[in-house]
Structure 1
Amino acid sequence: MSNDITQQLQSQILESYKSRKPLKICAGNSKNFYGHQIEANCIDTTGHNGIISYEPTELVITARSGTSLKEIESTLDKNGQILPFEPPHFADTATIGGTVACNLSGPRRAYTGAARDFVLGSNIINGKAEKLKFGGQVMKNVAGYDASRLMCGAMGTLGLILDVSLKVLPKPETEITLGYECDIHQALDFMHHWVKQSLPVSGSYYDGTYLYIRLSGNNSSVSSAQKTMGGDVIDDSEAFWKQIKEQTHDFFNSDKPLWRLSLASNNSPLNLTGNTVYEWGGALRWLSSDESEKIIRAELTSLGGHATLFKNNKTDGSAFHPLNSGLLNIHKQLKSAFDPENILNPGRMYKDF
């Protein structure tokens, strides 16, 4: 059955390639708000689902792109394992293909790695309807330019992901969350100091008044870290971090544009209007603001960072930070190589391609 669906997907892309008609890659649509909207025929991958192989002792799982995140995480949980980058779902329909395509990671990302760091290999169909295989199921199979990880964050603009192999990790033996009432300068100092001490930090969140730090690991390491760090133990820690990961926390419920700001963690608070919360030790900042796109992007550019308009796009500008001429040229060359007729999710990331 999976081969039949693969052939159907390949035939649909081939037809579009010949007619030069664009396609919008569709699956669970849990992240449909992200990036620019596309007017095109849908190519649906939800029927292309199922776990192909899973070797708990090898810490590797391979699944088709339409497989739900819930199924994958449930299977891993039965064997005491997790997806280390803690991907957000945003809806029960979330799939592993969309997760990898968007390269979105949760609170654990700053301490264990991003989604692309755990991709070992993938099979895709490019814009010429060619099936391509990259990487494998072990790290040693990845040599030269790792094109499988190139699919992470490309949002389907380079190819339709058929399946992906991911490295997984054991589930932590225990987790607790500690809280501290402090100002932003103290919060940043705390987060930097504790990371330098190699404490088992797996999540950080500062809301402007209170700093939350999650510790994950074996019982002895977490207990030892707690004695070193002090703080108040937060009840129902799992529910709190799920609110942050899935953006159901009150902060994310505003109807104002939500900006995802990425910059060096040691930067001081930004001179921007609106409300800000901090994750990833200060390297990820969420800004809920009606401030103009021009001002926000100028501020981030001056600091060597970038700003993504993540939700509630009320502007006619780009959702993603403008590329400099060098990066823009690389993006266009990659798009031309993988999708020369610009039929796969055209304009999803940048409106020109």
Structure 2
Amino acid sequence: MDPQQFKEQARAQILQAAADHGALEIRGGGSKHWYGQKIQGEVLDTRGYSGVIDYEPTELVITARCGTPLSEIEALLALHQQMLAFEPPHFGSGATLGGMLASGLSGPSRQAVGALRDFVLGAVLMDGKGDVLHFGGQVMKNVAGYDVSRLLAGSLGTLGLILEASIKVLPLPVAVSSRRFAMNEAEAIRNLNQWGGQPLPVAASCWHDGALTIRLAGAEAAVRAAEQKLGGDIVADAGEFWQALREQTHSFFAGAATGKALWRLSVPSTAAPLALSGSTLIEWGGAQRWLISDSSAAAIHDAAIRDAVSGAGGHATLFRGGDKSAGVFQPLAPAVARIHRHLKAGFDPSAIFNIGRMYPDF
């Protein structure tokens, strides 16, 4: 579809929904349709607004339209030995740039390079009045005032239709090596934090079922020195392992496919093992912990999980499965909730975009 034609049609659909006091469900490939709470409304399909707008490898920035497939972007970057360093999960072949930004999800390398939002340089948004708003740009130091382009990361389409985004990219590492160690959960957390305080090129980590796997990435000399210092067993299928972790096809996540609740627990990396019932997998140097709950008393158990994680200084998200009626995301403090509502009202005054996806009243 012609880009201008798409924007005119999207604007018309938005204005009609506002006039009818209706709702719109912004959707690209639908690969993350399950994330968050149930949404409602007429579908506003972004796939007609696709294509890379600008990419100059020497500038380390790519700008593309919201409906551009992630696979297309990553294939183009690979031709120039570059990558989306935060390793966004696709969760399906239909994943798009807009869905990537709206979901705000980062993969295994987040512990080393930062989150998706740290790579967002600029964005173009169509708000609830049909106006096209530009935020940020294509360089790191060009933002004055509130950084709205990064605010869109993880907003789940509740603030408006993300039309375009400029994302910082990085070169592929020169050397990569994965090592595995036998150790329990407490030992893994302790070692990960000790290694994190040393000049070691640890780019990703995963502890599960008595085994800690780490990925070293960077300059050849740094990776080889780290191998000698840390030891461990070579991981023969390393590429497949990290890809399975990124896309949650790793055997651990199979439990969530049976209907059990998969929780994403964000805690300080130094937090001790949480005394929660279920299976655990740990990423990001100890800061992200996945829990597959095996409790049948869902409402009681959900509250216990949130209390335990809050007590450790973190928050819990019901990522997949389970009973979403009690809320997917950690309840907001009153002051923070007011900020969210004011932002929603500013960008989406008629409350038409992805209503209820983050919170029932948002």
Same fold (TM over 0.5): yes
CA apart distance, 1:286:
0.2
Q: What's the secondary structure of 2:285's corresponding residue?
A: helix
Q: Determine helix, strand or coil for the equivalent of 1:214.
A: strand
C-alpha separation in 1, matches of 2:324 and 2:103:
21
Q: Does 1:332 align with 2:341?
A: yes
Question: CA–CA distance in 1 between the matches of 2:307 and 2:215?
Answer: 33
1:97 aligns to what SS in structure 2? Answer: helix
**Deviation per residue, 1:35-85 (Å, 9 max, x gap):** 011121000000100000001000000000000000000000000000011
Question: Does structure 1 residue 290 correspond to structure 2 residue 317?
Answer: no
8 Å contact from structure 1 (residues 313, 319) kept in 2:
no
Residue 272 of structure 1 is matched in structure 2 by 276
Give the corresponding residue for 1:302: 311
Point out 4+ residue stretches in structure 1 off by more than 6 angstroms.
Answer: none
Say which SS state the counterpart of residue 58 (structure 2) adopts. Answer: coil
Equivalences for residues 2-13 of structure 1 within 5 A: 2-13=3-14
Partner residue in 2 for 1:111: 112
- Quick check: 1:23–1:344 contact (8 Å CA) kept in 2? yes
Deviation at 1:314, TM superposition (A): 2.5
C-alpha distance after superposition, 1:147-186 (max 9, x if no partner):
0111101000001100000000000112110000011121
> For 2:8 and 2:322, how far apart are their aligned partners in 1?
36
DSSP 3-state at the match of 1:337: helix
Runs (5+) with no aligned partner, structure 1: none
Matches of 2:189 and 2:312 in 1, distance apart? 17
- 1:309-334 Cα shifts (integer Å, max 9, x gaps): 00013342101010011111111111
Q: In structure 2, the residue corresponding to 1:91 is in which secondary structure?
A: coil
Q: For residues 249 and 111 of structure 1, what CA distance do their matches in structure 2 show?
A: 21
Q: In the alignment, is the contact (CA less than 8 A) between 1:70 and 1:92 conserved in 2?
A: yes
Structure 2 equivalent of residue 36 of structure 1 = 37
For 1:170-219, what per-residue CA distance to the aligned partner results, in whole angstroms no more than 9, with x for missing partners?
A: 00112110000011121112111111112111100000300001001121
Equivalence for 1:23: 24
In 2, the alpha carbon distance for the partners of 1:272 and 1:185 equals 14
State the shift of 1:337 in Å: 0.7
The whole-number CA distance in structure 2 between the counterparts of 1:97 and 1:39 is 19
State the TM-score, normalized to the length of structure 2.
0.96
Instruction: Please show how residues 1-353 of structure 1 align to structure 2 within 5 Å.
Output: 1-254=2-255, 255=258, 256-291=260-295, 292-353=301-362
| SS of the residue 1:141 aligns to | coil
User: CA contact under 8 A between 1:87 and 1:105: conserved in structure 2?
Assistant: yes
- How many Å apart are 1:104 and its aligned residue? 0.2
Q: What is the rounded CA distance, in whole Å, between the counterparts of 1:198 and 1:100 in structure 2?
A: 31
Contiguous gaps of at least 5 residues in structure 2 = 296-300
Once residues 209 and 128 of structure 2 are traced to their aligned partners in structure 1, the CA distance between those partners, rounded to angstroms, is 46
Aligned residue for 2:298? none
Is the 8 Å Cα contact of residues 204 and 280 (structure 1) preserved in structure 2? Answer: yes
Query: Hey, what's the Cα distance between the residues in 1 that align with 2:198 and 2:274?
Result: 27
**2: CA distance, partners of 1:188 / 1:269:** 8
TM-score for the superposition, normalised by structure 1: 0.98
Q: After TM superposition, give the deviation of residue 301 of structure 1 in Å.
A: 1.6
Supply the AA of the counterpart residue of 2:65.
Answer: R
What one-letter code is carried by the residue in structure 2 that aligns with 1:263? V
TM-superposed CA distance for 1:96, in Å, is 0.8
> Which stretch of structure 1 is more off in the superposition, 298-307 or 106-115?
298-307
* Aligned residue type for 2:282: Y
CA RMSD of aligned residues (A): 0.9
Residue deviations 1:102-160, cap 9 Å, x none? 10000000110100000000001011211100000001212221001111010000011
CA distance in 1, matches of 2:3, 2:121: 21
Determine if contact 2:52/2:68 at 8 Å carries over to the other structure. yes
